[in-house]
């Protein structure tokens, strides 16, 4: 394995402990080998087994990727429906769905599933995702070709689609143990509205059946990795891949998602202008899901209560006013990077720290790269800004994130940081505690299956009987995350 890689001149840490392949042209994707210069050094090393699994996957992807002989053969199987001879390459096609944070987490889940099942991951990225990510696998592409035959049909894929795995089980009563049964594809609906039949995907027997199917199509807005750890079939290999289970997204996210040069330009220019010189960088990600039920004054109070109580930012002396000349010349010691769709939190904090001196004498700079006002998932430039901001947050030393937000999960995972999470404001009422530091940097799986597989009874989800490495999330009570 190593002979191909030992001659390289790229220093080891640039490759994140061997996580990233050295086989790329550096200039075509500057961030791939440079992000580590901006982020805190990760104390978490990828396992040798994970590294070898990734190198093997890269070879498989190169062999089976778009427009290879094997790919064309598999495509014929899909079109003809004739799967009598088993092809050498099998695929999982990820179909873009939901906001960018959700997409990044669900792509990661799909990739881990591909690693576990020797499938090749292909991405159906809609136009709004163009130019966000570099290709992650050397000498190949993970993009589903534009002329892929049933692409138009992807819009029909939802909970009611007849050839979804759940509906095949529910209405067709298919016998998954039958040797006879062979279909060329199955649609997997693993989203927030999946039902118990869809969720049988997370069971051993069903995995044995799905192994035979050449094409799987997947729509999900979930980080379903914790549920893969509950499938006995995968548990052992997952433990070997990730001896420290808190690092699944941290490693796979840093492996897969590299901003394109265009986005990298946005990131580095902003970083150099506002963040680079500060002694400490604090990222505050403010996600308000419903402006009607979440009054902005409550949010503002909650943020300040969190930063003060947790000693993340100093208090100001409101009785003193800083002279204008001092405001301009003082060197920033702490830079606060705010990300939000709205500008009012930024305005409020900026005014506070500009006008008044801090009780500690520290100078606090407040910055916000954009305020888009609305979520515009189908807008490419909007997504570029969102992706740039997730990366800027991942370059901070301390993070404060918002409950329920996958945007924040991506930032914390790429950073390798356990953030303080601002607990959810419900029914216009502030939570008892403003925020708390999470116990694991892993993202939360918001809607995990609740049925046990064979028994078709409910999981007893009481924390005391969950496996020691799975816990309910701090921000989403019924959610599950790895520790």
Q: Does 111 bind ligand GDP (CB under 6 A)?
A: no
CB of 185 to ligand GDP, least distance (A): 27
For residue 304, how many C-alpha atoms fall within 13 Å in the half-sphere facing its CB? Answer: 14
Q: Please, which residue, 66 or 265, has the CB nearer to ligand GDP?
A: 265
Q: Which stretch binds ligand GDP (CB under 6 A): 62-70, 309-317, 374-382, 463-471?
A: 374-382
Contacts of 109 (CB under 8 A, 6+ apart): 220, 222, 223, 224, 225, 228
219 binds ligand GDP (CB under 6 A): no
Q: Which stretch binds ligand GDP (CB under 6 A): 38-46, 193-201, 400-408, 434-442?
A: 400-408
Location of structure tokens 């989203």: 191
Instruction: Report the residue from 217, 407, 445, 469 that binds ligand GDP according to the rule CB under 6 A.
Output: 407
Instruction: Confirm if 298 and 428 have CB atoms less than 8 A apart.
Output: yes
Among 34, 382, 418, 472, binds ligand GDP (CB under 6 A): 382
- Of 46 and 419, the one with the shorter C-beta distance to ligand GDP is 419
100 binds ligand GDP (CB under 6 A): yes
| φ, ψ of residue 191 in degrees (nearest 5) | -110, -175
For the CB of residue 172, give the shortest distance to ligand GDP in the complex, in Å: 33
Q: Which is nearer to ligand GDP, 268 or 358 (CB)?
A: 268
User: Quick check: helix, strand or coil at residue 155?
Assistant: helix
Residue 479, classed as helix, strand or coil, is: coil
| Backbone torsions φ then ψ of 358, nearest 5 degrees | -85, 155
199 binds ligand GDP (CB under 6 A): no
Integer Rg of the chain from CA: 24
User: Nearer Cβ to ligand GDP, position 386 or 453?
Assistant: 386
Using alpha carbons, list the distances in angstroms from residue 307 to 207, 277, 315, 353: 46, 21, 9, 13
328-367 footprint of ligand GDP as x/- string (CB under 6 A): -----------xxx--------------------------
Residue 14: helix, strand or coil by DSSP? helix
* Residue whose C-beta lies closest to ligand GDP: 99
The residue written with tokens 């944070």 in the block is 101
Residue 395 near residue 280 (C-beta atoms within 8 A): no
Q: Does 296 bind ligand GDP (CB under 6 A)?
A: no
Complex with ligand GDP: residue 202 or 407, whichever CB lies closer: 407
Q: Are 145 and 66 in contact (CB under 8 A)?
A: yes
Neighbours of 149 (CB within 10 A): 10
Among residues 209 and 271, whose Cβ is nearest to ligand GDP? 271
φ, ψ dihedrals at 219, nearest 5°: -120, 125
The binder of ligand GDP chosen from 254, 287, 471, 481 (CB under 6 A):
287
Nearer to ligand GDP, 18 or 259 (CB): 259
* Tokens encoding 399: 């993070």
Which H or E element spans position 37? Answer: helix 30-38
Asked whether the beta carbons of 277 and 332 are under 8 A apart, the reply is yes
Per CB under 6 A, the list member of 19, 372, 418, 451 interacting with ligand GDP is 372
List of residues 6+ apart from 352 with CB closer than 8 A: 316
Answer for which of 89, 227, 284, 386 binds ligand GDP (CB under 6 A) is: 386
**How many chain residues are in contact with ligand GDP, going by CB under 6 A?**
21
Task: Establish if 424 lies at the interface with ligand GDP (CB under 6 A).
Answer: no
Considering the rule CB under 6 A, would residue 406 count as an interface residue with ligand GDP?
A: yes
What is the contact surface with ligand GDP in residues (CB under 6 A)?
A: 98-102, 287, 339-341, 370, 372, 375, 377, 382-383, 385-386, 389, 405-407
């Amino acid at each position: 394995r190593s002979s191909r890689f030992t001659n390289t001149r790229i220093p080891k840490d640039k490759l994140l402990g061997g996580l990233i392949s050295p086989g790329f042209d550096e200039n075509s994707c500057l961030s791939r080998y440079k992000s580590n210069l901006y982020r805190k050094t990760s104390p978490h090393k990828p396992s040798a087994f994970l590294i070898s699994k990734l190198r093997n996957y890269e070879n498989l992807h190169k062999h089976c990727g778009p427009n290879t002989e094997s790919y064309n053969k598999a495509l014929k199987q899909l079109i003809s429906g004739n799967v009598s001879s088993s092809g050498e390459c099998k695929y999982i096609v990820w179909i873009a769905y939901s906001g960018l944070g959700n997409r990044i987490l669900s792509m990661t889940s799909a990739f881990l599933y591909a690693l576990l099942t020797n499938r090749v991951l292909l991405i159906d990225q809609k136009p709004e995702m163009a130019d966000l990510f570099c290709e992650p696998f050397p000498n190949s592409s993970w993009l589903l070709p534009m002329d892929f035959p049933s692409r138009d049909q992807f819009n029909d894929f939802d909970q009611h689609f007849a050839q979804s795995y759940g509906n095949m089980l529910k209405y067709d009563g298919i016998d998954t143990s039958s040797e006879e049964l062979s279909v060329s594809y199955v649609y997997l609906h693993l989203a927030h509205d999946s039902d118990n039949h869809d969720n049988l995907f997370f069971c051993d027997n069903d995995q044995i059946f799905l192994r035979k199917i050449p094409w799987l199509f997947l729509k999900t807005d979930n980080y379903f990795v914790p549920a893969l750890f509950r499938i006995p079939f995968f548990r052992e290999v997952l433990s070997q891949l990730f001896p420290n289970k808190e690092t699944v997204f941290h490693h796979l996210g840093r492996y897969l998602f590299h901003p394109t040069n265009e986005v990298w330009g946005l990131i580095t220019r902003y970083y150099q202008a506002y963040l680079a010189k500060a002694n400490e960088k604090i990222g505050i990600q403010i996600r308000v899901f419903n402006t009607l039920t979440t009054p902005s004054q409550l949010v503002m109070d909650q943020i300040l209560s969190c930063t003060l109580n947790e000693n993340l930012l100093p208090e100001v002396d409101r009785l003193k006013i800083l002279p204008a000349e001092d405001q301009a010349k003082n060197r920033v010691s702490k830079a606060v990077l705010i990300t939000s769709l709205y500008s009012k939190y930024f305005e409020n904090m900026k005014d506070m720290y500009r006008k008044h001196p801090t009780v500690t004498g520290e100078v606090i700079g407040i910055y916000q790269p954009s305020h888009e006002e609305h979520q515009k998932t189908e807008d490419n430039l909007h997504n570029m800004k969102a992706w740039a901001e997730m990366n800027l947050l991942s370059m901070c030393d301390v993070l404060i994130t918002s409950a329920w937000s996958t945007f924040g999960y991506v930032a914390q995972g790429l950073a390798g940081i356990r953030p303080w999470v601002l607990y959810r404001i419900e029914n216009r009422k502030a939570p008892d505690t403003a925020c708390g530091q999470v116990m694991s940097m892993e993202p939360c799986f918001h809607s995990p299956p609740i049925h046990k597989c064979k028994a078709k009874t409910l999981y007893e989800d009481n924390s005391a009987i969950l496996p020691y490495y799975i816990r309910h999330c701090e921000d989403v009570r019924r959610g599950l995350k790895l520790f």
